[in-house]
Amino acid sequence: MAGRVIAQGYRVVDEERHTVDYRSSVWGDYFIRNPILPHNYQKSLEWMTERCDELINETKEMFVDIINPFAKMTLIDALQRLGVSYHFKEEIDNSIESLVSVKFANDDFHAISLQFRLLRQQRRYMSCDAFKEFIDKEGNLNGTLCSDTRALLALYEAAHLGTPNEQILRKAQVETTNQLKRIVDCIEKPLSDKVRHALETPSFRRMKRLEARLYIQLYEEDKEECNEMILELAKLNFYLLQRLHREEVKEICEWYHGLESPRELFYARHRPVEAYFWALGVYYEPEYAKPRKLLAKFIATITPYDDTFDNYGLWEELQPFADVMQRWDEKGAEQLGRCYKDYAQFMFGTMNEIEGALPKGMSRENVNVIKDIITEVCKAYVTEINWRDSKYIPPLKEHLHVTLVSCFYWAINCTAFVVFQEGVTEEVMTWMSGFPQIVKDSCIVCRLMDDIVAHEFETERNNVATVVSCYMKEHDSTKEEAMEALWIDVENAWKDMNEEYLKLTSIPSSLLIQVINLARMMETMFTKIDGYTDSAILRKWISLLLVQPIYDLASI
């Protein structure tokens, strides 16, 4: 194929349209051809389901039997990280409430760190003053703490729940990271594996479904902490949920590949599997199958929207297209040219499907809020095209004013709420429509991470200036200096989210955690490269969740 080769091996196949040859998804129609997760274990599915229920009941009894606060915290942490905590909401809530008043000895570094993290994860405030004994008179980490790897690891994990003004936790985050990196090669397995896992991504920032799959093995190998009953529950529960998720991704693929409109969008990224993976990161529990599938359809639908603007459209073609899309004019879409008409029909069809799937009453009003936000996205796209065609590199603040909207995360957050339905009141929708700070923070994480890892790719194709280019111009800095500064901004956005998560008491936890979960997906997919565009990068993670059955069930 002719064309200029750019970053990541892509080719620019049409310079005027800035079109690159996006690679096809590695999955194709795999899940349509292979609809059922393999089952070759000794026990039947019926036995697995009954055994899982038995283990859930036995675990509930453990909450009553365990008196020691540290032992109870260890149990809660394991259940959460192994992905089974949704079975024990009442027990965990009651235990967390009792932990608020527990006072550990000042030098019980492990217990204090775990208490702090568990409380803040559940939106219970605990002062960072509890960590004063962790720092010596010279301002360094306490020597006793540094000699206890588990305590050091617990502090590292806790520090990632710090808020902007908690300097002691900022310092602890840096110091524990450096210390753990220094000692990790000297620690014996399995603890060294846990440290490497944490250094790669701290627990609070991990996609929870992927964390469950990866943590099962870490938990099993750590004989000092592993409870065999909890381990068995985690394995069985993961497999049973995995079967459900496998059925859902097949349904999403059949829906996408069965539509005529997307097939005409030859320039776009077609990512139904990756879109489902994204939605799976927002809510994975079995009771949320319907919202998960609707959100996956929405994400799969908006992907070609972005591509229509920056991987195909010319200004004179995009003007009438943008006008139709901003007016949500289904009849007007019939007058659009090739591809633009096809995409408009695709978007209108998905939004009509979402509205039709919701209960009558607030459905139309709530979907209209989504549409209003998407209209703002379209306006932002138009601004970006003007920037691109005039080769304008705006100041960073001006860039973010536009691109925090165009990254689509505000609209995805809103859609995640609307299809979820639970707790989505008129007041909540009014709050969401105002682009609240915690949502803006998730957009900052999205925009900055995307632009940092895709900077060479976007620059070499002469696309819209990235935040890296804006920073370099504004501060007369090198690319490396710009990226370093922007990674700090990502870190600051996480701290802002932590603070908002604690203080937004008027918004249900079940909704706010969706905002956090969307930020977590960026940590999963955009740490080193844009894994959504270059979908081979995500093959390993998607395979673990949807293709490879959980290991070692044959022995159960």
* Element (DSSP H or E) covering residue 225: none
Listed residue (125, 100, 190) closest to 153, CA to CA: 190
Please provide residue 90's backbone torsions phi and psi, each rounded to the nearest 5 degrees: -65, -45
Contact 152, 176 (CB under 8 A): yes
> Quick check: pTM over 0.95?
yes
Kindly report the number of other CB atoms within 10 A of residue 2's CB atom.
6
pLDDT tens for residues 79-88? Answer: 999 999 999 9
* pLDDT for the residue 374: 98
Q: Where are the alpha helices (DSSP H) in 122-207?
A: 143-146, 149-159, 167-183, 191-200
pLDDT higher than 80, residue 346: yes
Q: Indicate the DSSP class of residue 317.
A: H
Predicted pLDDT at 552: 59
1 has a pLDDT exceeding 70: no
The three-state secondary structure class of 34 is coil
Provide CATH 1.10.600.10 ranges for the chain.
274-547
At the topology level, CATH places domain 45-234 in: Glycosyltransferase (1.50.10)
**pLDDT recorded at residue 44:** 87
Q: pLDDT-based confidence at 526, cuts 50/70/90?
A: very high
Cα–Cα–Cα angle for 186, 191, 194, rounded to 5 degrees: 110
Q: Can you state the percent helix, strand and coil of the chain, rounding each to 5? A: 70, 0, 30
Where exactly does CATH 1.50.10.130 map onto the chain?
45-234
Does 3.40.50.10300 match the CATH number of domain 274-547? no
Q: Is the pLDDT of residue 371 over 70?
A: yes
Q: Is residue 363 scored above 80 in pLDDT?
A: no
Cα distances (Å, whole numbers) of residue 427 to 422, 434, 508, 522 = 13, 11, 12, 28
Q: Would you say 458 and 417 are in contact if contact means Cβ atoms under 8 Å apart?
A: no
Report yes or no: 545 and 245 within 8 Å, Cβ to Cβ. Answer: yes
Rounded mean pLDDT, 342-351: 98
Read off the pLDDT band of 3 (50, 70, 90).
Answer: confident
What are the Cα distances from residue 457, in Å, to 159, 394, 465? 34, 19, 11
CA dihedral 374, 377, 379, 382 (to 10 degrees): -130
Give bridge partners of residue 19 from the DSSP assignment.
14
Is the model's pLDDT at 556 over the cut of 80? no
